Structures are given as C-alpha cells and as structure tokens.
Amino acid sequence: MSQHDCNTCSAHAELARMGVTLDRIDRVVALAGNPNTGKSTLFNALTGLKQHTGNWPGKTVTRAEGAFEFDKVRYKLVDLPGTYSLLSASHDEQIARDFLLFGDPDATIVVIDATAIERNLNLVLQVLEITSRVVVAVNLMDEAKRKHLDVDIRSLSRDLGVPAVGITARTGDGIRSLLEAVAGVSSGELHTVPLRVTGTPAFHRAISELVPLIESVAPGVPNARWIAIRLLDGDAEVEEALTSGRLAGLAADQQESAPRFSAKISLQGTQ
Amino acid sequence: MDRLLTIAIVGVAALVLTLAWAWMGRRRAAQGRRRLEDALKHLFELEYRGRQASLASLTGALGVRDRVALNLVARMQTQGLLIASASEFKLTSEGERLALQVIRAHRLLERYFADEARLPLPQVHAAAERGEHHLSPEAADRLSASLGHPAVDPHGDPIPTREGFVPPAAGTPATAWPLDRLARVIHLEDEPPISYAQLVAEGIVVGQTIRIIDSSPERLVLTDGENEFRLAPAVAANIFLDAAPDTPARVGAVRLAELATGQAAQVLGLDEQCRGYSRRRLMDLGFTEGATIRAALNTFAGDPRAYEIRGTLVALRRDQASQVLVLPLERAS
Amino acid sequence: MPRAEAAAVLRRAAELRATLDSQFRDETVKSIYAEAERIASRASHHVGTVRYDFDQRVDRIVTSPVFGLPLMALLLAVVFWLTVAGANVPSAMLATGFFWVEDQAATLFTNIGAPWWVTGFIWHGVFRGLAWVVSVMLPPMAIFFPLFTMLEDLGYLPRVAFNLDFLFKRAGAHGKQALTMAMGFGCNAAGIISTRVIDSPRERLVAILTNNFVPCNGRFPTLILLATIFVGPLVPSAFESLAAAGAVVGVVIIGVIFTLAVSWGLSRTVLKGEASAFTLELPPYRRPGILRILYTSLIDRTLFVLWRAALTAAPAGAVIWLLGNITVGDLSLARHIANSLNPLGHAIGLDGVILLAYIIAIPANEIVVPTLLMVYMGTGMMDEGSSLEQIRELLVNTHGWTLLTAVNLMLFSLLHNPCATTIITMYKETLSLKWTVVGTLLPLGLAFLVTFLVASIW
C-alpha cells in the first residue's frame, strides 16, 4: 500500500480536485448521514480540534475535514453535507455523491438516527449502491432508549450486509467499536456483502443489460450497477463522467491498488 | 492639421457605420432565422394535429404581413424545406427535422421553466418562445439529461427525441368528447395564449380526470367531481382528452392539506402537478405510497402544517400538501 | 474511440428508459423505502406503550397557534436583553484595558523620541480603531452567539421558521429566511452565509439582499444609545429604560417589515417566481452539547466575524486620525468634508458630520458613534463620550439635534448600506458583481428615501 508515491493515481488526483490533501495520511474516510443525526457531534468526537472548515471547491457549501489516528493508522475524515438522499441533485447531494463516486474513500461511515431508522435507511441503501465499503453508525442510542425503542443492531447489520455499530456520539459510547469496524472495512480485512435493492422486473432486465456495457467502457469500475441506474434515470453528470472517461480512469487506478478487495474474513463470520 | 482631423473623423465615421451595418445585418439575419424557425414549427404542429396550413394561418401565427410570409415560403422552398402546391404546404424531411429540433428545444425549455425555475404556468410558453432559438441541439441534449430526459412538456405535448422521433398525436378535443364519459386531460393547447390562460385560471391541468355534463353551442360544462367549469366551445376545443385509465377509483382519497389536524392517513402518492425538484424532494423525504402520515402540528395561520412521517416531523405549505393524496385512517380513539 | 463506445451505451440506456414506466424515479425511491421499511421493522421495536411523550407536548406549546408567536417574541426579547445587559460591563472593561495599553504605549513612544505623528497614527489611529471594534463587538457576540447556537442545537430555530412561514410565504420568500434573519442579528455577514440552508437560488438571493434590514450587533450600540438619550426622557423617569428598550424593539420590527416588503417587491419584479418547495424538518429536541456550542459559536462565528471586522477597523482608525489631524485653513479635513455634506444631510433630517461618520464607518458599523463624537468635539481621536448626560448635552445643545435627528438616525442606521465585511461576503456567496451592487445600493437608496420622507412629513 504505497499511497505516498502514487502521484499519478487518478483517485488521488480526484481527491486533490475536491480539495483533499493526502499529506501524512494513510486512509480516507467519508462521513455521510441525514441532517440532525448527530453527524457533526461524531465528527467532533473523532477529530477533536484537528479539523478545519472551508468550502467545497467552486461551491458555497461548507465542508469540514479532520484527522484522527487509530491503531497506528492515520485517517483523514471528510464530513459530507447532510442529505436525505443522493437523487435530488441539489448542491449538497451532488457533492456527497461525487465524493463517494469519484473520491472513492477507503471507507464511508453513514450515521443514522436510532429513533428514525426507516427514514435514515433510504440514504444508507443509496450509499450501498455506490460503494460497498460502508460502516453504519447507529447514533443516538440513548435517545432511542428514552423513547423505549429497542434497536437490534445485529439484525440491521445482517440485513444490510455491512457492519453496523450502535453509538452515542455525545458521550463517546461505542466509538471504539465503530473505529474497529472502520479499520476492518478500510483495510479490506472485513468483507462486506452490501444489500442491493431489486426493483420491478423491467427495471432488473434493463440493469442487467447495461451493466456489462458499462463495464466494457470503464473496465473494473466497482459500481457499474449504480451507474446503470443513474443512466436509466437520466443523470447528466454521470453521463458526462462516462463519456469523458473520468470513470474509466478511476477504475484503472483501483485495479492497481486492489488488495483491499481481498476478502479475508466475511462479515457473517464476525457477527 | 485640419486635413488630418478630417481624415480621422471620416475614418471613425466609416468604422462606426460599418460596425452598425454589420450589427444590423446580424440582427436581421437572426430575425430572419427566428421567423423561419417559427414558420417551420407552425407548419409542423398543424400537420401533426392533422390540420391544414395556409398562408393565412402562417401570417396569423407569426404576426407578420402577407408579403413577409410569402417571402418566407419562397425561402423555405429554395432551401428545400417545404413543398408548396396550390392547395397545401408540406414539409420535406429536412424541414421536418429542423422543425422538430426547434420544438424539442421549446418543450424542453418549457419543462425547465415550469419544474426547475418554477415560473407560473402561463408564463412558461413565452419564456420558452424566447429561448428556443438560442438553444443548440447539443445544449438541448444536455438540458434534457439534466431534467432526467422528460417525455412530455408541461402541457402534455410529447418532447421529440434527439433522433427526431415523436409519438403520433393523441387525444380528442373536449368539444368532440361524449357526454358523461370519464376522461383524462392529456393535453392543453397553449396557442392562442388567451384561451390557454383561461384554462389555467379555471384550474384545468394535465392529468386531471373530468366529465362533460352539459354541451350546447354556447357553453360546455365540465366537472372534476368537485368544481364545475363553464367554457366557451372555442376555449374547450383546446382541451384534449383521452379515456380515463381504469385503475380502481381511490375511494375516500383526500388531499393531505384537507386532513384534520391530529388525524392519521396512508399516503397514496403525489399528484401529476407535483413535478421537478419539489417532487424529488417529497419522494426523498419518504412521501411514497403506503407510508403512514399524521397531521401533527398547526400554526397560527393554519399554513404551513407539520406532518409526522417515517418518524420525523416535516413542515409543508398548504399548496404542497394539497399535491399529496392520502387515504384517511380511522381516528384512533 | 472510448468516447464513441460510451455514446453507444448512453443511446442504449435511452432506449431502455423508454421501455420502463415513465415514473421510473418514483419507482426507484418507492422500492428503496419499501426495503427500508422491511429492514427497520425487523431492527427496531417499541417496548412498552409510551410514544412521543415529551417532544410532542413541548411542540404543542411552542408551535401553538395561540402561544407560539408570543412565546417566540418573549424568547427573542430575553436573548436581546441578556446580550445588551450582559455586554455592558465586559465592554467597558475591555475599553478601559485597551485605552490603558494605548496610553502606556503612546507615552513609551514619546519617551523614546518618536515623532508625534508616528505615535498618533499608530496608537491613537490604528490601535484605537481596533480597540473600539474589539471592545464593542466581542462581548455582545460572545454572549449572543452561544445563546443563539444553544437555541439552534435545541432544535428551536426550525420552529421559529415554522411559526413565521406564513409571513414569508406571502412575501414570495422561503420560510427558512427567518432563520437567516435570526443569524443576521448577530452579524449580517454570518446571516448571509447562513442563507445556504435555502435550496432555491431565487429565494436565497432574496434572503441575501434583505439580510441587511436586520440590525446587527454592530448597529445595536447606536440604536441603544439613541433610544436611551432621546426616547427615554419622553416618558416618566420610572419607565425610561422600558421606553428605550421598546424603541429598539420597534426599530427591529420596522426592519422585519422592510425585509418582508422588499422580499415581496423583489419576488414580483426582478426575482420573479413562485415559492419553491418548502420542506422543513422539525428535528426532535436534543440536549445541547455545551462544548460544541462554545466551539461553534466562539471559533466559527465570533472569531470569524471579529477577525474580518478587525481587518477593516484598523485602517478606518488610521483614516479617522488623519482626517482629524490634517488641517486646511483653520479647520480639520474632517470638518471640511462634513461642511460640504451638510446640505444633503439636512435634507434627510441629519447633518454632514453624521454622513461623514457613516462613510468612514463603511468598514465596520460600530465606529459610527465614536467617529461622530470625535468630529463634533474636534479632538482628532475617536472618543467614548464620558457620560450619557455629556453626550446629550453635546448633541442637543451644541449641535442642535432634535427628536427628528434621533429618529432618522435610527432609521438610517437600520436601513443604510451593509458594512464592507457584509458586502464582501455577499460577493463571495453570490459570485455576482451585479447582485452585490444591488444588495449595497438598494438599502442605501431606501435609507435616503425613508429618512427624506420622514423629514419632510415631520
């Protein structure tokens, strides 16, 4: 994993384009979530004062990033704008989506509200379409308790096919387990089998026809299925990324640094 | 010295005149192109609706004198866009292709102005009319992609594809629709603007289900089950109808805005008028079929209200809440 | 070559799209939520019967049609009162401290033989400008922003937007504009940045252009001073402070009315359009995290605003010093300019000195009053009037101020052009020179118009 001398890697070029510098950093972690889920509380809990805020390049959307260390690995944490979805193409959603797609973070933490799981899963399921290296942080476990809600983290994790960890960001409860999961997912030691939503039969047919076509244009792209969905929906930006070769370049880079895909331990085994 | 000054003045004057002439020429060329495109559009639209174009209809549609229209026809003929015989005008395939390009630009712009810029519906047509001549086919493709490749414009007209495909005309004018047969509004003709404005003011929209309850040479009376619309036949002829889909009627469905505060309901869906960003937003917030919703909080003015859906309180203004169809659940005791 | 292949994929996608239901996106979202429902029903269960106890009860009161608005007004009044009352003492202490430093430094400079104009320029000019801004702005911001962030963290602000939306809807604006206005009370620059919460570009622009009509922290000292000196004495002495406070609240309400009226005007003319989708989430009430509040309010907001104000206040201090100390004939430059501005000033019920003070105060509004006093007294330095009684004496007896002057100055202060920091922020957020110019000149024009009308009718 020689990330430092990899100046030509397009994923890193993409990261630089999005304003992320990789000095003395081993892995990049994105932080996604709905608004009002305590995402920034978690961000502060993880990074402390090692953070700085600014704008996303060319956009008037506030961005924050910070750094933390866990088990001798240095992580950069990029706080994505809080969104309910990745489909609406508002500025916020576009930024979050672009970062997940082109920035290709080593892991993505999706913060969800334990008291409104159903609503929050909308975003989780959409993120799972783009990247499989996801950890779900079920925040506000204390609020859930106050509201007499029993949250079954295991069932959630089993259904989603990615690790889920119950936390209370305000008090720091569960943050260690969260970081262990992030370490596992970002190093590739924890293999994830993300749930993908199946739609109508016609939808399914259309997707399975497009996926091989996309893979031939951008070989090795990890989220051909998601791209196919976006193309069917008529997403101008994804169309652009495909014709300009931005996606293909990204995929070529990923194949070089493939070790993270080596599935050593499957998630089911650890649970 | 004097001669130098004279030369300088003459030189500057000549330059100014040349520039002015070039500018006027460009303007005239642009105006000529605009007229040509409008003429093509007019001819195509009449052909599409199976009506006969004439010099009179052309002068009327473009608002120009006969002489100008004649020149236009001659120009279109020499450019191989039109075959004009004594009795009829017919577009060549090249003429049709150009016409479809303009129409595609126009309808995409209408969609954009209605959904994303949220211009009031009566203003949409005029705004698109101004923009259509400046939108290159490539720009139209990009616009189409950014809108999610819509199939119809806000009036229900099909948007031609990039390849120039447009489905055949559908729908029957309301004046030719049988009494008392349930129909769905599939298209509102936006020309002439006056009658279109009246239809919008009455509250007739594409996607609405209506029935004609009375018809006389002076008046056509339509109803959507709640309101009655009395229209002059000339105006009603601009409403195009199709048989209402025979999906089982949603018995007892009401609009979310009508739900009593405190009452719970099940979401049936968003109505056709809710488009673009606002539709995507509501869907993303979970206003999808089957979700349970409760009118939770009221304000001083009664608008907006907050609704509890999927574990969160979401405030909506009345006009948005009336675009959500719900089935009230029995009041919990 | 790959471009052509990609184009072929896009074409195929377009063909496949035609085979799908036209409501494809709806179907996608629906199936995602269906899946979410399934997973959530397995993963979370209610134990016991208590559901939505506390939050709902609070919400019924906070957003109640009857108590909602009065409660909101009361809460905001308390926040203002705490800010104004709490800031006085630290403000005075900071000022004393800074002036002590200034005195010491100036003496030191004189002792080591520096020319008088170096000492004056650096210490009585630049440093004093900076000191003024810090001592006047820092304490109120350090009180206001944490209080405000606490309301924000609690989840109360969205309820304010919810309660007030009916007004903004009528003005063709977004309900969240109420949130950005609330931020504007602290600082208009911060208020303009906070308009990012509004998705619709049109409504966001309306919010940016009208944010100036909310008097910021920098303008409150002027309003409070004038209300205390001129409005207070109009009533029996027992009610003096109440009347003064009432006058300030009145000015704020006038500001809100102007915000709504200008928003209404903009939505019907240059920024025509319909109200966009208004979806406002009312998050559950949360216990605020004290550390987080202090961090965001002090680091992100207070220091950020203060830093920018300080950058502009230092050169302003220098300019004031220069204008006050360079004499042409037997009058200082400041008096010359003031005299030439007099006709314009009188037309709107003010005078030339006030206008000059406003020109110098473009970088930071809080130096208006000190500049005024400085030019009136001809001391050549910004000065904090020693007591209210003395200031009143100076303004009324020596310079002929009347109640009209005070009223118009309050109106002018409320409406006039935004400060330099706000203008820069406006440009950064809109990236449009045109809208920055509109956002600057519109309030200025309105300020002249309104004060002129008031002066004519008086």
- Give the model's pLDDT for residue A264: 29
- Give the model's pLDDT for residue A22: 65
| Within-domain flag for B222 | yes
Asked if B281 is an interface residue toward chain C (Cβ–Cβ < 8 A), one would say yes
- Give the model's pLDDT for residue B66: 83
To the nearest whole Å, the CA of C166 is away from the closest chain B CA by 6
Q: Which residues of chain B lie closer than 8 angstroms to C29, CB-CB?
A: 283-284, 288
- Considering only residues C384 and A93, tell me which one the structure prediction assigns the higher pLDDT: A93
- Give the model's pLDDT for residue A58: 60
- Give the model's pLDDT for residue C378: 60
Report DSSP state, residue C1. -
- Is A97 in contact with A81 (CB distance < 8 Å)? no
Contacting residues for B209 by C-beta, under 8 A, at least 6 apart? B182, B183, B184, B185, B224, B225, B244
To the nearest whole Å, the CA of C32 is away from the closest chain A CA by 6
| Within-domain flag for B110 | no
3-class secondary structure per residue, A27-63: EEEEEEECCCCCHHHHHHHHHCCCEEEEECCCCCCEE
- For A159, the closest of C3, C42, C283 (CB atoms) is C42
| Within-domain flag for C15 | no
- Considering only residues B165 and C409, tell me which one the structure prediction assigns the higher pLDDT: C409
- For C12, the closest of A143, A156, A213 (CB atoms) is A213
Domain boundaries, chain A: 10-196+262-270, 201-254
- Return the CATH number at B65: 1.10.10.10
Checking if the pLDDT of A8 tops 50, the result is no
- For C9, the closest of A117, A214, A229 (CB atoms) is A214
Asked if B297 is an interface residue toward chain C (Cβ–Cβ < 8 A), one would say yes
- Give the model's pLDDT for residue C328: 83
| Within-domain flag for C18 | no
Inter-chain residue contact A117 with C48, CB threshold 8 Å: no
- Is A22 in contact with A15 (CB distance < 8 Å)? yes
- For B311, the closest of A88, A118, A235 (CB atoms) is A118
- Give the model's pLDDT for residue A21: 66
- For A151, the closest of C29, C36, C44 (CB atoms) is C44
Q: Which residues of chain C lie closer than 8 angstroms to B186, CB-CB?
A: none
To the nearest whole Å, the CA of B156 is away from the closest chain A CA by 20
- Percent of chain C residues topping a pLDDT of 70: 90
To the nearest whole Å, the CA of B148 is away from the closest chain A CA by 4
Q: Which residues of chain B lie closer than 8 angstroms to C69, CB-CB?
A: 300
Instruction: Give the CA distances from residue A238 to residues A71, A95, A157, B148, C306, in Å, rounded to whole numbers and listed in that order.
Output: 37, 13, 30, 11, 42
Query: Helix, strand or coil for residue A68?
Result: strand
Look over chain B and give the mean of its residue pLDDT values, rounded to a whole number: 82
- Is C215 in contact with C409 (CB distance < 8 Å)? no
> How many pairs of residues across A and B have Cβ atoms under 8 Å apart?
42
Residues of chain C below pLDDT 70: 1-2, 21-23, 48-53, 80, 84-85, 273-277, 300-301, 305, 308-309, 312, 377-389
| Within-domain flag for B187 | yes
Same domain, B47 and B80: yes
Look over chain A and give the mean of its residue pLDDT values, rounded to a whole number: 79
- Is A108 in contact with A75 (CB distance < 8 Å)? no
- For A116, the closest of B144, B149, B311 (CB atoms) is B311
> How many pairs of residues across A and C have Cβ atoms under 8 Å apart?
151
Q: What's the half-sphere exposure (Cβ side, CA atoms, 13 Å) at B100?
A: 18
- For B311, the closest of A119, A234, A239 (CB atoms) is A119
* Buried b or exposed e, range C259-268, using 16+ CB within 10 angstroms: bbebbbbbbe
Q: Work out the pLDDT band at A2, boundaries 50, 70, 90.
A: very low
| Within-domain flag for B283 | yes
- Give the model's pLDDT for residue A267: 32
| Within-domain flag for B311 | yes
Query: Helix, strand or coil for residue B155?
Result: coil
Closest chain B residue to A144, measured at CA: B311
Checking if the pLDDT of A256 tops 50, the result is no
- Give the model's pLDDT for residue C433: 92
Inter-chain residue contact C165 with B315, CB threshold 8 Å: yes
Interface of A with B (CB under 8 A): 84-85, 87-90, 113, 115-119, 122, 233-236, 239
Euclidean distance between the first and the last CA atom of chain C, given in angstroms as a whole number: 78
Q: What residue type is assigned to position C259 of the chain?
A: T
Closest chain B residue to C24, measured at CA: B148
Q: How far apart are CA C226 and CA C237, in angstroms?
A: 16
Which of residues B195, B214, B243 is at a domain's end? B243
Q: Which residues of chain C lie closer than 8 angstroms to A45, CB-CB?
A: none
| Within-domain flag for C228 | yes
A10-196+262-270 CATH choice from 3.20.20.10, 3.20.80.10, 3.30.70.360, 3.40.50.300:
3.40.50.300
Between A217-226, B12-21, C373-382, the lowest mean confidence (pLDDT) is in C373-382
Q: What residue type is assigned to position C131 of the chain?
A: A
| Within-domain flag for C41 | no
Inter-chain residue contact B286 with A87, CB threshold 8 Å: no
Phi, psi for A31 (deg, rounded to 5): -120, 110
How many domains would you assign to chain C? Answer: 1
- Give the model's pLDDT for residue A250: 62
- Give the model's pLDDT for residue C2: 60
Inter-chain residue contact C28 with A90, CB threshold 8 Å: no
- Considering only residues C23 and A223, tell me which one the structure prediction assigns the higher pLDDT: A223
- Residue B315, H or E segment: strand B312-316
Which pTM does this prediction carry?
0.76
Q: How far apart are CA C135 and CA C99, in angstroms?
A: 10
Q: Work out the pLDDT band at B139, boundaries 50, 70, 90.
A: confident
To the nearest whole Å, the CA of C168 is away from the closest chain B CA by 11
pLDDT digits (tens, 9 = 90+) for A54-69: 666 666 667 788 889 9
Checking if the pLDDT of A36 tops 80, the result is yes
To the nearest whole Å, the CA of B311 is away from the closest chain C CA by 10
Range of the domain at B81: 2-91
Inter-chain residue contact A90 with B277, CB threshold 8 Å: yes
Q: Work out the pLDDT band at A266, boundaries 50, 70, 90.
A: very low
- For B300, the closest of C29, C68, C281 (CB atoms) is C68
Phi, psi for C221 (deg, rounded to 5): -55, -40
Range of the domain at C407: 68-457
To the nearest whole Å, the CA of B278 is away from the closest chain A CA by 9
Chains that touch A (3 or more CB pairs under 8 A): B, C
Q: How far apart are CA A89 and CA A234, in angstroms?
A: 12
3-state helix, strand, coil in chain A (%, to 5): 45, 20, 35
Q: Work out the pLDDT band at A162, boundaries 50, 70, 90.
A: very high
Same domain, B198 and B217: yes
- Give the model's pLDDT for residue C52: 54
Checking if the pLDDT of A124 tops 90, the result is yes
Checking if the pLDDT of A141 tops 80, the result is yes
For the ranges B118-122, B249-253, C343-347, the maximum mean pLDDT occurs at C343-347
pLDDT digits (tens, 9 = 90+) for B71-95: 888 888 888 888 877 667 888 888 8
Q: What residue type is assigned to position B60 of the chain?
A: G
Inter-chain residue contact A119 with B286, CB threshold 8 Å: yes
- Give the model's pLDDT for residue A185: 93
Checking if the pLDDT of B12 tops 50, the result is yes
Q: Work out the pLDDT band at A207, boundaries 50, 70, 90.
A: confident
Inter-chain residue contact C279 with B314, CB threshold 8 Å: yes
